[in-house]
Amino acid sequence: MSPIDLRSDTVTQPTPEMRRAMYEAEVGDDVYGEDPTVNRLEAMAAQRMGKEAAVFVASGTMANLVCGLTHCQRGDEALIGSRSHILMYEVASLAAFGGVQLRTVPNDERGMMDPDQVEAAMRPKDDHQPRTAMVAVENTHNRCSGAVLDSEDIGALAEVAHRHGAAFHIDGARIFNAAVALDAPPAELARPADTITFCLSKGLSCPVGSVVCGGKETIARVRRNRKMVGGGMRQAGIIAAAGIVALESMVGRLKEDHDNAKRLAQGLARLPGITLDPTRIQTNIVIFGVNDRPAETFLEAFKARGVLASFPERGKVRMVTHYGITGQDVDEALNVAEAITRGRAYGSR
Ligand SMILES: Cc1ncc(COP(=O)(O)O)c(C=O)c1O
């Protein structure tokens, strides 16, 4: 029996239609700009985000890196959220490869940064200080339980960045989840961004890939940086083909993941020893506190009963719904959670 894998939406398997599209994909050398399938995916992505151009990259981490390298020079500073993926999980790549100082502004529970705090963190023109070259936001916010920023939030942060001459970048790994939750076109959320990235390999279920969208000249520079970090991928149409299927057929179904996550959160919130406000769950990520035992013990008990979850930070457990998780899986995960929290289950099922 395969486990109910709630660790992440990155564990999703490609759909049968994706596998067929990948098999049949027309390909060429994408470093020469000659892969028709990549070109088509990039054009579709740019159109969805309301931008002039797009470039296909290997991962969300690479996407953020090449955008940072495009906006920042060595010795510059980038302002990022204190709980952001760029800060926590990207091996300080922009510092390591770009010589960029990463400075944090607190993320609140919604993943928002206070525009006044961003304003206060902006460097004045001063030969002693680094230049603030980029402000980056994350939408949806992974460590803030998939919280969503709306276009007003984003506009307020972009306004501060642009007024100070800094670029504004959106790590939109799950921007389609945000758009579905808000019932807004993704282009509306992307509007003030100089660059926006989104991942194909998360809730959209592709095996590989992310896309960076932005203005034509900016994307030309992103493309050069992609080459520099070894991201020129030749017959990449094989994987881009799955991305086209994803944009055409996988966005609409994200609501199902959100509904499953909300139901999961409502069920978990009723159990003893769990801290969770289910009304905060907007998309597909459910992070909750475990009060009466170490979160690791909790995860082990789940695993022994065929449910996998992840451990985002001390005292917390994360469960993510996705294409591979059905309503029945949610029921089963809740049954297991109930048995564990009510002390009935420390063996395996
Ligand atoms: C918000 C966010 N940005 C970027 C990434 C990085 O994506 P990848 O795993 O494709 O490098 C992730 C991955 O989970 C993410 O959640």
Structure tokens at 310: 């992840």
Mean pLDDT over 120-128 rounds to: 97
Residue (of 182, 200, 183) closest to 57 by Cα position: 200
**For residue 293, what is the DSSP state?**
S
Distance, CA 327 to ligand 1 centroid (Å)? 25
Q: Of all protein residues, whose CA lies closest to atom 6 belonging to ligand 1? A: 60
Mean pLDDT over 258-277 rounds to: 97
Mutation test of ligand 1: which of 149, 199, 202, 226 has the most ligand atoms closer than 8 Å to its C-beta?
199
| Domains with residue ranges and CATH for the chain | 12-249 (3.40.640.10), 253-341 (3.90.1150.10)
Distance, CA 60 to ligand 1 centroid (Å)? 5
pLDDT tens across 218-243, in order? Answer: 999 999 999 999 999 999 999 999 99
Q: What pLDDT does residue 261 have?
A: 98
Q: Region of 201 please: left (phi>0), alpha (psi -120 to 50) or beta.
A: alpha
pLDDT over threshold 60, residue 248: yes
Confidence of residue 196 (pLDDT cuts 50, 70, 90): very high
Distance, CA 286 to ligand 1 centroid (Å)? 16
| Other beta carbons within 10 Å of 207 | 16
pLDDT tens across 59-114, in order? Answer: 999 999 999 999 999 999 999 999 999 999 999 999 999 999 999 999 999 999 99
Structure tokens at 89: 């999980």
Q: Is the minimum distance from the CB of 60 to ligand 1 under 6 angstroms?
A: yes
Mutation test of ligand 1: which of 198, 202, 287, 318 has the most ligand atoms closer than 8 Å to its C-beta?
202
| Residues 205, 214: Cα–Cα separation, whole Å | 23
pLDDT tens across 147-188, in order? Answer: 999 999 999 999 999 999 999 999 999 999 999 999 999 999
Helix (H) or strand (E) run with residue 117 in it: helix 115-121
Q: What pLDDT does residue 348 have?
A: 39
C-beta separation of 190 from 163 below 8 A: no
Q: How are strands ordered across the β-sheet holding 77-81? A: 53-57, 210-214, 195-199, 167-171, 132-138, 77-81, 101-105
Q: What pLDDT does residue 345 have?
A: 55
Nearest atom (ligand 1) to Cα of 210: 10
Q: Is the minimum distance from the CB of 69 to ligand 1 under 6 angstroms?
A: no
